[in-house]
Structure formats: C-alpha cells, structure tokens
Amino acid sequence: MTVRDPRTGAVVARTAGHETAANALAAVDLGGRVLLASAGTDRTVRLWDPSTGALAEEIPVRHPAYALAWTAGRLVVGLERGVLALSLDGLRPRA
C-alpha cells in the first residue's frame, strides 16, 4: 500500500501488509491519534500509522473483508458473510 500526502501527492510511506488484496480504507480517530484502517481478503483488518506507514495493529476477522466505516466510535467491517462492529476502546496500537 502506498500512503500519499493529500496536498502534494508525494509518497509518504510504502507498506507491506495484507497477504492478498486490500479492499477498503477508513480513517480511525483513537483519542486524537488518527490511524488508517485497511480491510483485506486475507481475513484481517489492519491499522496503520499514516505518517510513517508502520503497522500499528492487526485484527483477525473470520471472513474476507470488503468494506470499512468509522462511526460512533466503532469500526464497522463489511465481511463476505455479514457485518462486524469493532470497539477499539482500550486498544493500544504499537507506536
């Protein structure tokens, strides 16, 4: 995945992450720390630090993931079989 500065288009970071396609992205605000969530067909949701491209957290899910939305303090994941609403309260992503 390539992270670009939205103002300039310059590449900020390149990440190696999902073992298969990343299908969705969403910005997630964890108490003022903004991370980028990605969903993949490898049955994971991953949280990234957009300023460095570093993986902050990997969350396994039971089915391939195709959609993401951050709403009301929950990360909603559209799966091949259903929808999952994840509470990230108490999550302490890697630095």
Dump pLDDT digits (tens) for 3-61: 778 899 888 777 777 667 778 999 999 888 899 999 999 999 999 888 888 889 999 99
Q: What is the pLDDT of residue 19?
A: 67
Which residue in 24, 28, 64 sits closest to 44, CA to CA? 64
d(CA 70, CA 14) in angstroms, rounded, equals: 23
For the whole model, what pTM was predicted? Answer: 0.80
CB of 94 closer than 8 Å to CB of 57 = yes
Specify burial of residue 9 (Cβ count, 10 A radius: 0-12, 13-18, 19+): exposed
d(CA 93, CA 37) in angstroms, rounded, equals: 12
Asked if residue 80 has pLDDT above 70, the reply is yes
């990605």: which residue's tokens?
A: 38
Specify burial of residue 90 (Cβ count, 10 A radius: 0-12, 13-18, 19+): exposed
- What pLDDT digit, counting tens, does each position of 63-79 carry? 999 999 999 889 999 99
Q: What is the pLDDT of residue 26?
A: 95
